[in-house]
């Protein structure tokens, strides 16, 4: 998918809104570079949809359109005064009706960044895997209180 500018993004969101919800999208939509783990979010207080700009490039147009449809479900239900949160039955029903995904896929670039640290207990050989580093001078094995070694 080619790079999308602000005007074409607004046009795409409005087209999807008319096609799947039969209602126009009249508020703001924008890219947010700070979004990391999510494809997009709807901010009810501002009536704004923010989308992750990495998704169209890494996962393709189909996944990106699914994210937009998901956020439009939040948007239209909120405007109508219905339950727009993930746990609300109206929201789940509208997701099914429009063929929108409940969750988005993880970005391949974020999967690579998840660095795992492995520690092994010197005494009982229990292996610990952690996302963050552990101070081996301060922390011990939770099973036998043995010393941990970075593997």
Known catalytic residues are 71
CA distance 32 to 40: 8
**Ligand-binding site membership of 76 (annotated):** no
CA distance 115 to 122: 23
**Ligand-binding site membership of 74 (annotated):** yes
The alpha-helical segments, DSSP class H, found in 60-88 are 61-79
CA distance 125 to 102: 41
Numbered residues of the known binding site: 70, 74
In the annotated binding site for Zn(2+), the residues are 70, 74
């Amino acid at each position: 998918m080619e790079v999308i500018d602000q005007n074409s993004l607004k046009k795409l969101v409005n087209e999807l809104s008319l096609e799947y919800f039969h209602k126009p999208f009249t508020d703001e939509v924008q890219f947010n570079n700070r979004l990391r783990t999510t494809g997009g979010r709807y901010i009810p207080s501002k009536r704004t949809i923010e989308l992750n700009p990495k998704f169209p490039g890494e996962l393709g147009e189909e996944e990106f359109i699914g994210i937009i449809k998901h956020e439009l479900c939040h948007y239209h239900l909120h405007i109508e005064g219905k339950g727009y949160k993930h746990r609300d039955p109206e929201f789940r029903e509208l997701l099914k009706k429009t063929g929108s995904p409940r969750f988005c896929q993880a970005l391949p670039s974020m999967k690579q960044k998840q660095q795992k640290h492995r520690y092994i207990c010197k005494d009982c050989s229990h292996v610990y895997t952690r996302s963050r580093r552990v101070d081996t001078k301060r922390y011990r094995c939770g099973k036998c209180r043995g010393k941990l070694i970075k593997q």
